[in-house]
Amino acid sequence: MTTTEHLIDTVEHAASTPEHAQPYRELGLKDDEYQRIRDILGRRPTDAELAMYSVMWSEHCSYKSSKIHLAYFGKTTTEEMRAKMLAGIGENAGVVDIGDGWAVTFKVESHNHPSYVEPYQGAATGVGGIVRDIMAMGARPIAVVDPLRFGPADAPDTRRVLHGVVAGVGGYGNCLGLPNIGGELVFDASYAGNPLLNAGCIGALRVEDLHLAHASGTGNKVILFGARTGLDGIGGVSVLASDSFSGDEGGAGRKKLPSVQVGDPFTEKVLIECCLELYREGIVVGIQDLGGAGLSCATSELASAGDGGMHVWLDRVPLRATGMTPAEVLSSESQERMMAVVKPSDVDAFMAVCRKWDVIATEVGEVTDGDRLVITWHDQVVVDVPPRTVAHEGPVYHRPIERPADQDALQANGPESLTRPQSAADLRALLLRMISSPNLASKRWVTEQYDRYVRGNTVLAQPADSGMVRVDEQTGRGVALSTDCNGRFCKLDPYQGAQGPGRGVPERGLDRRDAAGGHRLPELRLARGPGRDVAVRAGHQGPGRRLRAAGHPGHRRQRQLLQPDRQHGDPAHAGGRRARRDRRRRPAHPDRLRHGAGRDAAAARRHPRRVRRLRVGARRARPPRRPSAAGRPGAGAAAGRGAGRGFPRRHAVGGARPVRRRPGPGHRRVLPARRDRRADHPARGCRPVRAAVLRVGRPCRGRRAAQRGAPLHRDVHRAGAAVGAHRCGGQGVDRAGDPGPRDVPP
């Protein structure tokens, strides 16, 4: 054969060249794993088959080291759990029935190594991947969370990774229009060089709209839709290294792009709406997102979970780069792609919906009646494998368990060994060291980069202990979500740390949701902790046992200071993102959930005295102004302020300082005017249309116009949060104090 014929390694060529050496070690496969592949196929694998097995048998996709432990949670599932659980382990995300025909789906997934190599894109695509998992279940994503772990805050490498990760999470999530309602930010020396990025997403769907990833129905068509396939992310889930971190995708001799995927949130936003319309039309038999391992994962998992085989024409895949080989096309992790199984009679309707949303859709295969996954490249067979051996029957390992040598000394270093302050100066120095810890400092600079109230369904978000979003406006049904992990407890004792001694992971998370008035849903358990692996036998049973034993979590939480290294206090707990003192909590009022109090609720928590007389979140008719007292100027203004003595005189409630008797910065004294017009000025008792949440700048300059009785209009500020109604003919002033027209029709 010529060199050109050898360029594409076909099944026929592989069968005739059993002695051909292949770089399986460079792809992360061990000798026994490669030999097992040869035994399954009865020949050596082709280059495309080797690429598929290497990525699908990687730790990222197969969980070959943790699968044996994660199976414990499936074995301990009770009948009460099964009654509400619509989908569990093995699907793209978990789905739980919450009543009234509604269900929620949620998942947390890590994206650690890509976020360290390329912080912004690694974090952004971590959010995008978890959102597509929620989409693949037939749900609309409604909120995201981001538990983060980094090394010491003052380390140069931490500064490089931290700002990129935060910007990536916020940039991708904000563009998708998804509120970020919770998360964590913890610094510890154990995470130096190994940051943890966990992205979580929750979605809402009707029970009848649930979709699963399976290819069933012989003759049904397989359609790939979304973005084009490029060279980005090749080998991202394995050790398939890239030649260079720069290069052009087009032309001969091009270099590979980095193994970190490149995300496009605007394409994904369109893809979300396209998928939701396809679900409403009822023309999707099965669907799978393309993330880690790309087409290798989507095709093998769909075929493995179905009742037949699959034939794929790989050369039909829309490409973004020229000269890509079959192995590269199968391994590419280009983002914003989905694969669906559709009946032949619904293909035209499917394509029409994709054209409506300007989404590229291509028919790339069909479901067959066999049990093989066959992939061809220009009529040459490059893959012919049993799909289950690729997707679900990978190797499983029992890793050796070893107790770290310093574990006993670490556990012996308890509170009794801490040096007690002997004087007021010592106590002051200790207090200053604690409050200077980045784990106890405010995380506001992080949360302000996230949009917490987009879509208008957020009831609670940072800095609340638990995020809460509305699911259904008619019934007022909503869901609360929080993430939590005390890595120091898990480092001291994985078993007790997973159970949560005192204020551990599962119970503390239940406390947060209970504080928000929510019912308990199945837990999301993450096996993570600072430092090297600490394994103890049956340590994974901790969370399940504590949850089953707990009747109802208490409302109070004890804050325990744990300082094994005598440097930092206990990390700030999740969701709240800052230390808070214990206080009694009560469930959220149904009106707040039904009407989505969101920003108004945040203003009420920050300034309870200023809005205590307002019904936060519920819109009520504006009460009629009482007539002014006979001959007393300004009495109408006092009546307009109503019963709320602490109500500020400006029309921006949240964050605005009350106007004092004496004029100060940003305030202009109201000159005497006619008694029936003076009360209409916003600084003299105008009631807002609704409670505002953001601080505004100086009051508007419409004093003289107010005296003339200008028509009613709305004063809309730049942030779109402070909305007031008053009689003013002048110009409004934005947050920066710059004058500009703000008149819009009421």
Q: How far apart are CA 482 and CA 182, in angstroms?
A: 6
Sequence length of the chain is 746
Please compute Rg for the chain using Cα positions.
30
Residue 296 φ then ψ, to 5°: -60, -40
Distances (CA, A) of 441 to 249, 449, 482, 562: 44, 17, 20, 17
Q: Say if residues 210 and 462 touch (Cβ distance below 8 Å).
A: no
What's the CA gap between 488 and 564, in Å, rounded?
8
111 tagged catalytic: yes
**Residue in 13, 111, 211, 651 annotated catalytic:** 111
Angstrom CA distances, 400 to 59, 64, 491, 496, stand at 16, 14, 18, 21
Which residue has 């964590």 as its token pair?
Answer: 184
Q: Are 148 and 438 in contact (CB under 8 A)?
A: no
CB 603 within 8 A of CB 614: no
For 500, which DSSP code? -
Give backbone dihedrals phi and psi of 510, rounded to 5 degrees, phi first.
Answer: -65, -35
Tokens (6 digits) for 169? 């999470």
Calpha distance 114→197 (Å, rounded): 9
Structural tokens at position 123: 């974090």
Pair type for strands 458-460 and 467-470: antiparallel
Measured between alpha carbons, how far is residue 663 from residues 280, 294, 394, 704, 730 in Å?
Answer: 59, 65, 75, 17, 20
Q: Residue 24 is which amino acid?
A: Y
Among the listed residues 60, 163, 392, 667, the single catalytic one is: 60
Q: Catalytic residue at 568? A: no
Residues 701, 728: Cα–Cα separation, whole Å: 8
Could you give the residue numbers annotated as active site? Answer: 60, 111
